[in-house]
Amino acid sequence: MSSGEKAARTDAFARFQWIGAAAALLTIAALVVAAAIQLKHAGDVIAYRFGLDYVEGEVWRQALLIPGPLMYGPIDRAPFVGFEYPPAYHLVVRFLMTLGVDPLVAGRSVSAAAAAVIVLCIAHLVSRGLVSRVQRSAVWVGALTGALLPFALSTFDYWFALMRVDFLAIALAFVGVVLAVRAARQPAWLLLAMPAFVLAVYAKQTALAAPAAALLALWPVRPRATILAILGGAMIAIAPLLWLQAATDGGFLRHIVFYNVNTFSLQAMTSRLLGMAIDLPLLVIAFRGLAAVRTEPAPDDVAQATLVAAVGLWLAICILMLPMIGKTGAVSNYVLELLCVAAIPTGWLAGLGWQALAAPRPGRGDAAGLWLIAIAFYVAALLLHAPLANPMATVTPASTALREQLAREIAASDKPVLTDDLTLPLRAGKEPLIEPFIFHELAALGLWDQRPVLDRIADHGFAFVVMTDKAGLAAERFTPEMLEAIARAFPISETGGGLRIRRPPAS
């Protein structure tokens, strides 16, 4: 190669360095702005007095009953209460409620705080995977890209400040992985990792991917410590399990296992995954990041090798669990953990790309720089695809005023109200008679006799009925027999604020 060709090649690579660096810095700047907007949205969500997702009312009600004589109790008499999840999240929320915190504020604040923990854990895990491989600036680029990336994902943005169990379970799983990776060098860290994993499972019983991945990754380097950790974790988990089983006459496992088996639809799974198509290319970037970090030279650090193995296994297990999104009532929250885990190797790829441009090696700089640009384009596509997800987007002064009016009506009524938005009667200080969605599924599976509720509907035992105005969702939350009985007994229908209110005929 002539000196002129070498000079031209050097100039071209210098321009490419600038483009790659600009892409990385613009990506981080865009993610910072997205995070700031979403934190503002979270503040608005936390302060809102009514439900923004139908599950919020169910969780609020369950938190009022845990602990108590009705927790995980019989389902053959009123009030009809189903408990889909173990009690860890509910107990945290209940504790805050005893301090005088509003129930919705408490539940949403726990979720938002857990989301912050997840973001910090992603930053830590990205940094831990890069720190001996790249220079400090590349560690910062990778950590910031990985940690802030979830704020560009509509799935994360929509759910992270709602009163649901998901984020606490995922946060505890992340804490467990952070601690377990340290155990590759110092096994004593498992004394903290295993309680975190057990608490994650007691927040959401499907939070098994992280402990499985971490322990499988640890097995080759610390087999004895791994066996002891499994035995110790089992002992930690069994003690509260036995107590809950005894306190509920066996109802605990009946509720979270046998009563929590929703019907499955392949069509629903396909439709929901297609609806999240913009999020799923992240998996391609994540697997490229895993491949890149495995091939990048690094000092002989057993903890780093364990981390990379754990993240790869964690990602794979979460992908294997994807079909769960086909369950009736499942929504995009079922992929939250997968997307959060995918942010870790994405951060690794960004950091390695920055390193390749800052300190290029023959044959490596161009390809790595292209991945930096690819990440930038993907983040731009996420942010331009649709406005940042905001649960408050459909809230208007009129819809809020309607809910305030309905809460006043419920408070003044001497009859219960049948509704799929349990925040309305709970805000009115009334005990809901039934959680329609849970018992829709139990009736479909033949596990619950709905005749007492059908009789009460026919006898006008409810003051009125409030349900979503979306017919498809209403059909998922009320049985066909309930909808038919409601139409006959409460023929006067009005809509507004995303609700359909059905009232009895005028006397």
Q: What is the DSSP letter of 246?
A: H
Q: Which of 425, 386, 328, 325 is closest to 158 using CA atoms?
A: 386
Q: Tell me how far CA of residue 171 lies from CA of 5, 107, 166, 239, 321, in angstroms.
A: 53, 15, 9, 23, 18
Same domain, yes or no: 162 and 207: yes
Q: Specify the length of the chain in residues.
A: 507
Residue ending a domain, among 391, 414, 430, is 391
What pLDDT sits at residue 418?
A: 96
Q: Is position 410 within any domain?
A: yes
Q: Is position 309 within any domain?
A: yes
d(CA 54, CA 33): 29
Q: What is the DSSP letter of 12?
A: H
d(CA 103, CA 94): 8
Q: For the chain, how many structural domains are there in total? A: 2
Same domain, yes or no: 321 and 215: yes
Q: Is position 10 within any domain?
A: no
Same domain, yes or no: 340 and 402: no
d(CA 107, CA 371): 39
Same domain, yes or no: 356 and 459: no
d(CA 285, CA 292): 10
What pLDDT sits at residue 473?
A: 84
Whether the bond between 223 and the residue before it is cis, its omega within 30 degrees of 0, is no
Q: Is position 129 within any domain?
A: yes
For strands 499-503 and 465-468, give the pairing: antiparallel
Same domain, yes or no: 378 and 409: no
Residue ending a domain, among 370, 391, 412, is 391
CB 127 within 8 A of CB 303: no
What pLDDT sits at residue 238?
A: 96
Q: Tokens 């509704």: give the residue.
A: 419
CB 75 within 8 A of CB 442: yes
CB 460 within 8 A of CB 491: no
Same domain, yes or no: 372 and 420: no
Burial letters for 73-92: b for 16+ Cβ neighbours within 10 Å, e otherwise? bebeeeebbbbbbbbbbbeb
**pLDDT tens column, 161-183:** 999 999 999 999 999 999 999 99
Residue ending a domain, among 391, 415, 445, is 391
Q: Is position 298 within any domain?
A: yes
Q: What residues make up the domain containing 313?
A: 101-391
SS3 string, 304-368, reads HHHHHHHHHHHHHHHHHCHHHHHECCCCHHHHHHHHHHHHHHHHHHHHHHHHHHHCCCCCCHHHH
**pLDDT tens column, 279-306:** 888 999 999 999 999 887 777 678 889 9
Same domain, yes or no: 360 and 427: no
SS3 (DSSP) at 448: coil
What pLDDT sits at residue 384?
A: 86
Determine phi and psi for 503, rounding to 5 degrees: -120, 160
What pLDDT sits at residue 303?
A: 85
Same domain, yes or no: 412 and 319: no
Same domain, yes or no: 402 and 373: no
Residue 286: other Cβ atoms inside 10 A: 25
Q: Is position 61 within any domain?
A: no
CB 366 within 8 A of CB 387: no
Q: Is position 7 within any domain?
A: no
Same domain, yes or no: 402 and 310: no
Same domain, yes or no: 381 and 408: no
Same domain, yes or no: 136 and 242: yes
Q: Is position 39 within any domain?
A: no
Which residue stretches of the chain have pLDDT < 50?
Answer: 5, 7-8, 10-13, 365
Determine phi and psi for 408, rounding to 5 degrees: -65, -40
